[in-house]
Amino acid sequence: MGTTWLRVLGAAGLAGSAAIHFYLYWGSGYADIPVVGPLFVVNGIAGVLIAVALLAWRHWLPAFLTLGFGGVTLLAYLLSVTVGFYGVHDQFNSQYEYWGVITEAVCVVCGLVLLVRAIRARTAQNA
């Protein structure tokens, strides 16, 4: 798969995750949860900003941020499903949770592949 398509797919994953977090914050009661609610807004904003950077800036940093965004968001969700995350205990039983995991997995895969390609290109350029 070409680098441009990976960037588009990664940006779609970022935007999808951001949209889900914005919806859950404003439309599903997460705004009332003390720590997690504001983190959902931060997650949504970060997802949009990283998506724009991934599409506009041909550099390794947006790929790294995409990988990190997906990985950290999935980790937080995994904690919320298993031991709880700041008092939130999710159950992995809604469409938003399913789509959230899918979009964040897309971020991890695309970010990782783009980052590896960037490192290989840089190494080949310096050789």
Kindly state the DSSP code that residue 34 receives in the 8-state scheme.
T
The whole-number pLDDT of residue 94 equals 86
The string of pLDDT tens digits covering residues 75-105 is: 999 999 889 888 787 887 889 899 999 999 9
Question: CA 3, 109, 112 angle in degrees (round to 5)?
Answer: 70
Q: In total, how many domains does the chain have? A: 1
The string of pLDDT tens digits covering residues 15-44 is: 999 999 999 999 888 888 899 889 999 999
Kindly state the DSSP code that residue 93 receives in the 8-state scheme.
-
Tell me the whole-structure pTM to 2 decimals.
Answer: 0.91
Question: What are the helix (H) ranges across 1-127?
Answer: 3-27, 36-56, 60-82, 95-126
Q: Which domain holds residue 87?
A: 3-126
Cα–Cα distance, 17 to 47 (Å, whole number): 7
For the chain, percent of residues with pLDDT exceeding 90: 72
